Structure 1
Amino acid sequence: MSARIEYIAFVDQQKTPGVAKKVINTVKSAENLGHDVSSKLFAPSFASVFGFIKAVFTTQCDVLFIRFSSLLFPFLFFPLLFARLKGVKIVVDVPTPRKSVLVELKTSETNVFVRIVKQSISILSSSWVLWPASVVVQYAQDSSWYLWGVQRRTVIIGNGINIPDSLAVANSRWDKATPLNLIAVAQLAQWHGYDRLIHAIHQFKQSSEKYDIKLTIVGEGDAYASLQSLVSELNLQDNVTFTGFLSGADLDAHFYNAHIGIASLGLYRIGLHEASVLKTREYVARGLSVIGAADDPDFAHDSQVRLMVSNSDSIEDIVVLLKDLPNSMLLAPQELRDYAEKNLTMESKLKVILAHVDIK
């Protein structure tokens, strides 16, 4: 059954290209499933709020996807209710548990007044802003405060990605006689926990292990300067390289020579013990094993694809993992790509979501 689907999101395509990419990939995946799909991306501004509200009021689609925004959703309650009364099925995509956003604001928002306003809006809006939704999509469990009245309509699912045929697979398996190449790609923040890995590499170098480790950190962000300072302090300039923001062929070249991708290692810092990290899926699609922390709905604890470390400040378990890698059998790049195509595509996730609004 073909449906008319529209995706509306409040997103800064320059500052958060990953968010824009997810919306675009969702649209492409829905088209691949045979649906008629359109999207509207609004740059965050006061004027855009009115455009967003108008888009909700005037939509003629069968299924409306909306990316959740704490500041915007109190203004969308009645427009969304109006859309529901017209027969539109509404899917609200909540990318991060709202309880975690409250914790993240403590470090990400330095202006105390603005932080208090944002936290107050989130707490006061509780779950009622989601009541018009047909389905609420979450990627980890939220608190009962934000789920009251919508828990039965909430679906917890792993993130999905698009895997174009043109996406190159990593060059080869790691040969223990050569350096182990790690890559970490992110808009660098404290909750990525890359400082844990840097400390672990420093401690690893003090051991009797014979192989060398090279870590490439791609991206910029609030944690960029502190990570650079830490590398200098620990004298790891020969082991850790910062590239800044990369895209296209430049980024592909670094992925091509990597062996393991580094997902978020500090999710506990924003109160998360479960998360569906998008970057994990992108690494696997490129043929890389992954090191990550916290539970993930798409990977078992003993997965050979995603190598799990503790979701805490511990350095020791990362050091142990690095020491054990020569005795481990990392999956071949093509095996990892095959796993991603079978289990992690956006199409497979969309089928589950659309089934909840009776679209097959």
Structure 2
Amino acid sequence: MRIAYLIHWNEGPDSGVFKKVVSQVTEWSRQGHEVGLFLFTAGNPQDWKDAIKGVQLIIQPYSKGMWRNSEFRKLVYRVDQWKPDVVYHRFETHYSRLPELLRKIPSVLEINANDITEMRRRNIFKYTHHTMTREKVLRSTSGFIFVSSEIMDSEHFRRQAKDRIVIGNSIALHDFTPAPPTDNKDPRLIFIGEPRSSWNGIDAIADMARMHKGWHFDIIGISLSEYRKSVPENMKFHGKLSKSQYEPFMQQADVALGSLALYRRGMNEASPLKVREYLAYGLPVINGYVDTDFKEEVPFILRIPNESRNTVKASAEIEKFVKSWQGRRVDRSDVEHLDIAVKETVRLAYMKRIREKGGIR
């Protein structure tokens, strides 16, 4: 197949989302498909020149403001002229000419969040515009891939998304070497996240650190100045680090922490990239939600309640879990279904079926 991946993204080539996109399209290419990545961005095109290899990258820059839609129309034209068999689009919002493109060419939307909930957090004008125009995009699309069952079953998608499938996030397991078992006298725990994300549950981690003063907590991706709250001394903030910089912390850790406050985002299910990375290193995980790929309980994931003060309420279970996993690692065979080759084979098969159905006329 000839696949055009269409995405609007401004967070840069080092962001987790863009790394996910690169791994997806690289795997599609490896499996014998011709892929073009069509990027709509307000960033400097030079920043992206080395972002991906082996896949054609087509960049349409824009300046923030009233001309954004006209610039997006240029990108739509370039996609159309490339003549793909399928358009794959990471859904965000409505743009001029997008519905027309999605109707003309068999198309698949990747849905990563409940867009109504997310837009409601922005200003009222953007929210109002989005609620008035989103159906134009959804009605024009042939197929839908959701990252969780919870999002797929939302009332905001149930009516429009007729042909749909759930595929949780994946990871290229071959890019990670499982960490050797630790011999730490006291447990070390690690969390990787992004600033300004209350659903990380850093306050819940701080509660845990206060209750277990002999444990050590490493927080990657967030600085103490960004968190701006008092934390115990056994909790260290390291800020944004590259993979090579934070890998030693992964190797030293006994247990990793997923998001612990997804209730603040109105969610109870997810498949975060960071948790897949933890598992690729062989780290057991404490989560505050249902993982899409581990809905049934497994010994290497402790699921605590998705509610306020959950680490306090589940303190005994957490202590038992952490102590039971000290000096042990998750077996790679238990997480092989998360591998990108497995997940993208399913995604490509779905795209092939959508292509055979044809576009919406």
TM range (shorter): 0.7 to 0.9
Give CA deviations for 1:260-280 in whole Å, capped at 9, x if unaligned.
Answer: 221111111111111121211
Are positions 1:63 and 2:86 aligned together? yes
Give the distance between the partners of 2:173 and 2:11, measured in 1 at CA: 21
SS at match of 2:6: strand
SS at match of 1:356: helix
Give the distance between the partners of 1:56 and 1:147, measured in 2 at CA: 29
Between stretches 252-261 and 14-23, larger displacement belongs to 14-23
Other-structure match for 2:167: 157
Give the distance between the partners of 2:210 and 2:246, measured in 1 at CA: 26
Offset at residue 215 of structure 1 (A):
0.9
Are positions 1:92 and 2:109 aligned together? yes
SS at match of 1:311: coil
Give CA deviations for 1:111-132 in whole Å, capped at 9, x if unaligned.
Answer: xxxx112221332234341222
Other-structure match for 1:227: 227
Other-structure match for 1:179: 186
Other-structure match for 1:209: none
Other-structure match for 1:169: 178
Are positions 1:311 and 2:306 aligned together? yes
Question: Which of 314, 319, 322 lines up with 2:318 in the alignment?
Answer: 322
Other-structure match for 1:346: 340
1:274 touches 1:296 (CA, 8 Å); kept in 2? yes
Offset at residue 313 of structure 1 (A):
0.5
Offset at residue 67 of structure 1 (A):
0.9
Are positions 1:79 and 2:74 aligned together? no
SS at match of 1:230: coil
Are positions 1:288 and 2:283 aligned together? yes
Give the distance between the partners of 1:132 and 1:203, measured in 2 at CA: 52
SS at match of 1:333: coil
RMSD, aligned CA = 2.5
Other-structure match for 1:146: 157
SS at match of 1:164: helix
Give the distance between the partners of 1:124 and 1:96, measured in 2 at CA: 18
Other-structure match for 1:112: none
Give the distance between the partners of 1:15 and 1:186, measured in 2 at CA: 17
Give CA deviations for 1:224-273 in whole Å, capped at 9, x if unaligned.
Answer: 54634231xxxx12x11111110032121221211222111111111111
Give the distance between the partners of 1:306 and 1:331, measured in 2 at CA: 16
Question: Which of 324, 328, 351 lines up with 1:357 in the alignment?
Answer: 351
1:291 touches 1:308 (CA, 8 Å); kept in 2? yes
Give the distance between the partners of 2:144 and 2:304, measured in 1 at CA: 30
Letter in structure 2 aligned against 1:26: Q
Are positions 1:54 and 2:63 aligned together? no
2:181 touches 2:327 (CA, 8 Å); kept in 1? no
Structure 1: state its 5+ residue gaps. Answer: 110-114, 206-211
Other-structure match for 2:124: 116
Change (3 A) 1:74 1:204: farther
Give the distance between the partners of 1:186 and 1:60, measured in 2 at CA: 38
SS at match of 2:36: strand
Other-structure match for 2:35: 37
Question: Which of 184, 191, 199 lines up with 1:191 in the alignment?
Answer: 199
Change (3 A) 1:117 1:302: same
2:23 touches 2:172 (CA, 8 Å); kept in 1? yes
Change (3 A) 1:214 1:48: farther
2:4 touches 2:79 (CA, 8 Å); kept in 1? no
Give the distance between the partners of 1:257 and 1:95, measured in 2 at CA: 31
Change (3 A) 1:267 1:19: same
1:137 touches 1:155 (CA, 8 Å); kept in 2? yes
1:197 touches 1:318 (CA, 8 Å); kept in 2? no
Letter in structure 2 aligned against 1:217: I
Give the distance between the partners of 1:282 and 1:132, measured in 2 at CA: 35
Structure 2: state its 5+ residue gaps. Answer: 43-61, 63-67, 357-361
Change (3 A) 1:48 1:295: farther
Offset at residue 33 of structure 1 (A):
2.0
Letter in structure 2 aligned against 1:78: E
Give the distance between the partners of 1:334 and 1:157, measured in 2 at CA: 22
* Structure-2-length-normalised TM-score: 0.81
Letter in structure 1 aligned against 2:181: S
Give CA deviations for 1:14-43 in whole Å, capped at 9, x if unaligned.
Answer: 387111101100011112322222312221
2:255 touches 2:322 (CA, 8 Å); kept in 1? no
Question: Which of 139, 142, 167 lines up with 1:134 in the alignment?
Answer: 142
2:218 touches 2:236 (CA, 8 Å); kept in 1? yes
Question: Which of 293, 299, 314 lines up with 1:298 in the alignment?
Answer: 293
Aligned length in residues = 324
SS at match of 1:40: strand
Change (3 A) 1:356 1:230: same
